[in-house]
Amino acid sequence: MAGYVVAEREVASETPPGDTASVRVTIGSGSTSARLEQRVERFGRGRSAARVLADSQEVLYVVSGSGRLHVGGRAHELQPDLGAYVAAGEAYEVENDSAEELVVVCVRAPQEGQASHDPDCRTVRFADREPLPAKPNREFRYLVNQDLGCPDVTQFIGLIPPGRAPMHSHTYDEVIYVVEGEGVLHLSGEETPIAAGSCMHLPPLEEHCLENTGERTMRVLGVFHPSGDPASRAS
């Protein structure tokens, strides 16, 4: 199964009736992903309509803006570079009380394990997580994983310096969002330019490489299922 790449701006947006967000489903049924759905939601001022989860869990990442995440009668502050977790069976709303757009990348995945999260500890900041190495000279930090009570999804930020790593694959199903930087995705014998807002699906065991062709570090948001180690390689 080949992977999939699309720029956020190339996907049509919709604003559901009574909602405050324009929503782009960037990875979903129209892509190569059958299990992971990635959405980019841009919240205007006010409080959104409720997002009700059934059998799926959801991880969120704040790209820009600020606001609050309302789940189960509790409010959690949202700020850039922050991850959040909502388990299957829960519902949430996003509030933005400023004139600045609140941009959030949301990924839904099947929940197969039992969530054990603390309702008061559902968010995590990139700055509060330990940097971990990944070959050849890359770095990542976990956001949402088992530490936050999420049973089978891992959300992380990866830092890719200028240059290219060898082709490799993973055993898990993964979606990626480029937060900043520019480069090339090497996948299925093709080279696709990528930049901030690029969205990718990398199926299990599909060889790929993200090359940073810029002068600054590329930052990518990765979410994969089932959970594991972003530094692991199947090949």
Task: Find where tokens 């070959």 sit.
Answer: 135
Task: Find where tokens 């930052």 sit.
Answer: 219
pLDDT confidence band for 2 (50 / 70 / 90): confident
Please tell me the predicted confidence (pLDDT) of residue 233.
80
Q: How far apart are CA 90 and CA 216, in angstroms?
A: 39
Q: Which tens digit of pLDDT belongs to each residue from 129-187?
A: 999 998 888 999 999 999 999 999 999 999 999 999 899 999 999 999 999 999 999 99
Q: Say whether 127-225 and 13-125 share the same fold.
A: yes
Q: How far apart are CA 15 and CA 127, in angstroms?
A: 32
The answer, yes or no, to whether residue 51 has pLDDT greater than 70, is: yes
The answer, yes or no, to whether residue 30 has pLDDT greater than 90, is: no
Q: How far apart are CA 33 and CA 106, in angstroms?
A: 15
The candidate with the shortest Cα–Cα distance to 57, out of 37, 75, 74, 73, is 37
CA atoms within 13 A on the CB side of 78: 29
Which residue has better confidence, 38 or 30? 38
Please tell me the predicted confidence (pLDDT) of residue 21.
98
| CA-to-CA dists, residue 18 to 14, 15, 27, 99, 108, angstroms | 12, 8, 24, 18, 22
Q: State which CATH number among 3.40.50.300, 3.40.50.970, 2.60.120.10, 3.90.1150.10 fits the domain covering 127-225.
A: 2.60.120.10
What value does the mean pLDDT take over residues 196-213? 96
Please tell me the predicted confidence (pLDDT) of residue 98.
95
pLDDT confidence band for 228 (50 / 70 / 90): confident
Instruction: For residue 226, say if its preceding peptide bond is cis, omega within 30 degrees of 0.
Output: yes
Superfamily of domain 13-125: Jelly Rolls (2.60.120.10)
The domains of the chain are located at 13-125, 127-225
Cα end-to-end distance, the chain, whole Å: 16
The candidate with the shortest Cα–Cα distance to 231, out of 160, 146, 163, 152, is 160
Q: What's the CA dihedral at 56, 62, 66, 71 to 10 degrees?
A: 20
- Among 30-34, 191-195, 229-233, whose mean pLDDT is lowest? 229-233
| pTM exceeds 0.75 for this model | yes
Residue type, 69: L
Bridge-based pairing of strands 82-86 and 91-96 is unpaired
The candidate with the shortest Cα–Cα distance to 158, out of 90, 229, 57, 67, is 229
CB distance 57 to 153 below 8 Å: yes
Q: List CB contacts of 130: < 8 A, sequence separation 6 or more.
A: 141
Torsions phi, psi for 60 (to 5 deg): -120, 150
**Residues shown for the chain:** 235
> How much of the chain, in percent, has pLDDT values that exceed 90?
89
The whole-angstrom distance between residue 178's C-alpha and the CA centroid of its chain comes to 9
The answer, yes or no, to whether residue 235 has pLDDT greater than 80, is: no
The answer, yes or no, to whether residue 23 has pLDDT greater than 80, is: yes
